[in-house]
Chains A and B, each alone.
Chain A
Amino acid sequence: SAVISQKPSRDICQRGTSLTIQCQVDSQVTMMFWYRQQPGQSLTLIATANQGSEATYESGFVIDKFPISRPNLTFSTLTVSNMSPEDSSIYLCSVESPWGVSYNEQFFGPGTRLTVL
């Protein structure tokens, strides 16, 4: 399996500020994904990030609020901009199996637990 790390592991932020979350993978992967889990809700896909192209955002998520960078095949960042308490969530990055296995099997990072006051 791929080993994925995220920074920071947790943070407490003030309303109106921004936080950038980093995701590092130990192997080169084409697609990386960003999810969030709000309290009591399911893991929800925010966007898909391919290296060398603009991220593709899911319905309800926009680039101005969640800008994503994907500078190479092992790294990505997600920024949560102009935060409000509703952004308090666990944010996870994931990658598709780098061995081209089946059915979109994904490996996840440990998550970033964000609290916005």
Chain B
Amino acid sequence: ILNVEQSPQSLHVQEGDSTNFTCSFPSSNFYALHWYRWETAKSPEALFVMTLNGDEKKKGRISATLNTKEGYSYLYIKGSQPEDSATYLCAAILTGGGNKLTFGTGTQLKVEL
């Protein structure tokens, strides 16, 4: 059974704050990790796909790192804005798992003025 855990479950920050949250996954048989951003009433939007230990990806003010040896990924948001308010989901794929995405429960971010 593949368990993907995310923390914290929810987060309230002030506009301008930088924040980060964690996705942890089993390190054995790791294949790939996805990050998605899901705003209410919209489609989940793909942010990053990461595969290599030490990977760092960046998209505007959002960046992510990957540690496959210890089984975690961090997502960072620099200078949070109200439009960053969303649920951030990570999903892992293991080798031999049929290429399926297994999602965490998400981190719900609220950025307040």
Question: Could you tell me which A residues sit within 8 Å of B by CB distance?
Answer: 1, 4, 9, 40-45, 58, 92, 102-111
Contact = CB atoms under 8 A, between A and B. Distances in A.
17 contacts: A1-B46, A9-B41, A42-B89, A42-B104, A43-B89, A43-B91, A43-B103, A92-B43, A102-B32, A103-B34, A103-B93, A104-B34, A104-B93, A104-B99, A108-B43, A110-B42, A111-B43
Nearest to A93: B43
A40 B31 contact: no
Contact of A106 (B46, B51, B102): B46
- The 10 A-B residue pairs with the shortest CB-CB distance in the complex, in nearest-first order: A103-B32, A43-B103, A42-B103, A108-B44, A108-B43, A42-B105, A110-B43, A104-B99, A103-B49, A105-B49
Contacts, number: 54
Contacts of B103: 42-44
A41 B6 CA distance: 12
B41 A45 contact: no
Nearest to B5: A42
Given A44-B103, A45-B101, A103-B51, A92 B93 contact: no
Nearest to B90: A42
A103 B91 CA distance: 11
Contacts of B100: 45, 58, 104
Contacts of B93: 103-104
B106 A110 contact: no
